[in-house]
Amino acid sequence: MKQVNLVVRFLVELCALAALAYWGFSLRAPIVVRVVVGIGAPLTAAIAWGAYVAPRARLSAPASVRLAVELAVLGSAVVALAVTGPNGLAWAFAVLVVVNTALTTLWRQRWYAAG
């Protein structure tokens, strides 16, 4: 069950990037803005995640910074889903994030728990 939770965590991360991309490309703005935001938002999130949150994060930071980056990325994905589609999808993703985060915390699956 713990391994399944880690797989779900990875899928949640990928879904967050997809949600940010979808939000950026669906903006009511000129095409140039949509392309820049549609590529830039998930790219920025991925860089921050890779730098601070990922198991092999490039930067060493306190657990509070890592948690803040995680909340910013996943929270912005929930908001992106809420403004671009049916609220049910945003709610479902938010519940999935909360349950998955609770299980990773309960099972001490966080790679930054010692930080």
Indicate the residue type of 69.
V
- pLDDT over 70 (residue 113): no
Q: Which pLDDT tens digit goes with each residue over 20-59?
A: 999 999 999 999 999 999 999 999 999 999 999 988 888 9
Q: Which pLDDT tens digit goes with each residue over 53-82?
A: 988 888 988 888 988 999 999 999 999 999
- pLDDT over 80 (residue 91): yes
CB 22 within 8 A of CB 82: no
Q: Residue 74, exposed/middle/buried by CB under 10 A (0-12, 13-18, 19+)?
A: buried
